[in-house]
Amino acid sequence: MKKSFLLLLLAGASTAAAQSAAPLTASLDNVKLTVALTAAGQPTYAVTYRQKPVVTASRLGLQLAHGNGFDGPLVLTGSETKTVDETWQPVLGEVKNIRNHYQQLTVHLRQPAAPGRKLDVVFRVFADGVGFRYEFPRQPNLQYFVLGEELTEFALPADHKAFWIPGDYDTNEYPYTVSKLSEVDNTQLVKGSNDIAVRNAPDAQMVATPLMLKSADGLYVNIHEAAQVDYPAMQLHVDRASHRLTARLVPDAVGTKAYLHAPGHTPWRTIIVSDQAADILASKLILNLNEPSKLKDTGWIKPMKFVGVWWEMQTGKSNWRYADSADTLNAAGQLIPNGHHGATTVNVKRYIDFAARHGIAGVLVEGWNEGWEDWFGNWKEAVFDFVTPYPDFNVAEIQQYAKSKGVQMIMHNETSGSATNYEQHLDTAYQFMNRFGYPAVKTGYVGRIIPRGEHHDGQWMSNHYVRVAEMAARHHVTVDMHESVRPTGLGRTYPNWLACEAGRGNEYNAFTTEGNRPEHETIMPFTRFMGGPMDYTPGIFKLRNYEPEHPERHVHTTLAKQLALYVVLYSPLQMAADLPENYEQHLDAFQFIKDVPVDWDDTRILEAEPGEYISTARQQKGSSSWFVGAITNEKARTATLNLSFLPKGRRYTATIYADAATANWQTNPEAYKISQQTVQAGTTLRLSLAPGGGAAISLVPVK
Ligand code: NOJ
Ligand code: CA
């Protein structure tokens, strides 16, 4: 990550403010921050956008478990401001260059009660929002301490429309509810779940971040956090009467919030705001608040498309298990294979062949290693050792075969929630990947966490995910974490941490009837994806009758929308999730998945409204080709795509993968039509999107 341009202006430091009651301010373009101390010594902040209130005077503070914290009256002892304007390049990303331009205000506070502890609050005001965090300077009377609660509030001026999921300590795999803040109640969602994740949302008014909000007068506001390291995830309690959101940190197994030390700091709290929904999706505020890459050598980090022995297991065609149950043993005490094991050498070679034939870089294989007979729901310390294949999975033979075909294997490390066990095996597991040629790993944390029943989103696990990313980097392995805490931009700091799941992926269409409603993917970019890429696993072509035992199950999109997701949902790791035989039925449409890249030089959000529609254009890394994805919710609509992003005077061949006139996610999802036309910067394409539909376009310069 090079710094190509750095401008640092010291705009002023003041200790005079210490005695003054006048509020402190910082602003950039349309965003203005005001920080004040109430008469009672309570620090507050407020944010406006074009003079409209975004967050009205809201409490700041931290309660320490053993008293004398930063929750009582505080004294302002000084403040400083500075402006930073620099541009940096992500290793992988949606754009080539990212401008980091902000005005910083640092506020120094003191706890007057003995022993006079010190706290700084650092604010960064960007053109598209505000980030702030608490910093604990080095001080004699505060070294190691336990946090009782963070007291940060976000007081909203009105009863906004909210796109929310429950604030669950252990999972984000929920469908989104769109409601007024005054209507937030997660009870039915938490109770009504029937999937395999642990569900744990103890308060009916708790919501998770990223939280997307829209005001009646058209302001779009997104609340989340950046750089969540050594600290629990922040969730928000909604006061339904006053629309005040209060931070609540995910506790540890015994209810403690966080173990901290000085010098140190919390993650950044982020408020992104605009009167254009597209600006929320284009924001780089969260990435900008993360630390630059800790890895010096990043040349080995490769984005990837992959297929895998996976959907066939999700849809019940094969299984992770080698045998039917641990009881199915022969006289010699060996497991008897049930004939449904998916990860056999023969089957894996079939996927390798398909990947090689179509230029797909990777093949993921789940269920290759011993342990799947009794891996789930038992809270066992050590289920997997991450290095012992089942007898019908020949790891060396597969390595040779993949190599001969120019295909890369992707490792799967399901931990069954035992992070303790995974940490004990980390070194051998990653050495195994190096030895057998696996440059990437998908991890998973299904079930209750060991140690102790820690929460997936608490401080201990947050540190665990970072330890895994660091260990993977040491072995030049890229990582995709399932059931982890939702991302907060840490992919900037650990560029080998390519993606997380941490949300409700396409897989819910396989193992539940409710699945993901057609609006789901029009909300995800405004919520889950604000923190970073997701392994959503798009690309399902057989959208009905994929599960003989559950003919009522549907994927809630058309086929063309599955294609559009490769552009709309940013990830440097994208699965082509369906089975080779289902792709063989539609090789003309599969061409788009072959062509679409996973790394970009530029991105334009052409039109967007959360819950309704999104159209995104992206320029392929190091190329003049562009790709467009347009999606809608359950309503049919016309996507209006103004191609003014194309370079002037250059003609492009547009290959358009659109819903057929009769397409409909429910009744006719696989009806698409492919057409070609020549377009240029002046062209506006108007494409009909079916209910639950979409369109995908590749734009290649005419030679
Ligand atoms: C849940 C993951 O999200 C899914 O992708 C995986 O196949 C299963 N766990 C088994 O590890
Ligand atoms: Ca999952």
Q: Ligand 1, closest atom to CA 537?
A: 5
Q: How confident is the model at residue 327 (pLDDT cuts 50, 70, 90)?
A: low
Q: Ligand 1, closest atom to CA 320?
A: 10
Please tell me whether residue 297 adopts helix, strand or coil conformation.
Answer: coil
User: Which residue type, as a one-letter code, is found at position 681?
Assistant: A
What is the 8-class DSSP label of residue 473?
A: H
The closest of 672, 650, 676 to 662, measured between CA atoms, is 672
Report the residue count for the chain.
703
Tell me the Ramachandran region of residue 58: left when phi exceeds 0, alpha when psi lies from -120 to 50, beta otherwise: beta
Q: Calculate mean pLDDT across residues 235-255.
A: 97
Ligand closest to 172 (CA) is 2
Q: Ligand 1, closest atom to CA 412?
A: 11
Distance CA 383, CA 491 (A): 29
Pocket of ligand 1 (CB under 6 A): 310, 366, 414, 444, 446, 482, 501, 507
More confident of the two residues 194 and 534: 534
Q: Calculate mean pLDDT across residues 310-329.
A: 83
State pLDDT tens for residues 579-603: 999 999 999 999 999 999 999 999 9
Pocket test for ligand 1, best of 173, 446, 456 (most atoms within 8 A of CB): 446
**Dihedrals phi, psi of 373, to nearest 5 degrees:** -70, -30
Tell me which residues have their CB within 5 A of the ion that is ligand 2.
Answer: 482
482 Cα–ligand 2 center, Å: 6
State pLDDT tens for residues 626-652: 999 999 999 999 999 999 999 999 999
List the domains of the chain with CATH numbers: 3-288 (2.70.98.10), 307-589 (3.20.20.70)
Check pLDDT > 70 for residue 324: no
pLDDT of residue 198: 61
Residue 441 burial by Cβ neighbours in a 10 Å radius (0-12, 13-18, 19+): buried
Distance CA 409, CA 399 (A): 8
Written as six digits, the tokens of 223 are 């609340």
State pLDDT tens for residues 414-424: 999 999 999 99
State pLDDT tens for residues 534-553: 999 999 999 999 998 899 99
Q: Calculate mean pLDDT across residues 141-168.
A: 97
325 Cα–ligand 1 center, Å: 19
pTM, entire model: 0.96
Largest CA-CA distance found in the chain, in angstroms, rounded = 85
370 Cα–ligand 2 center, Å: 20
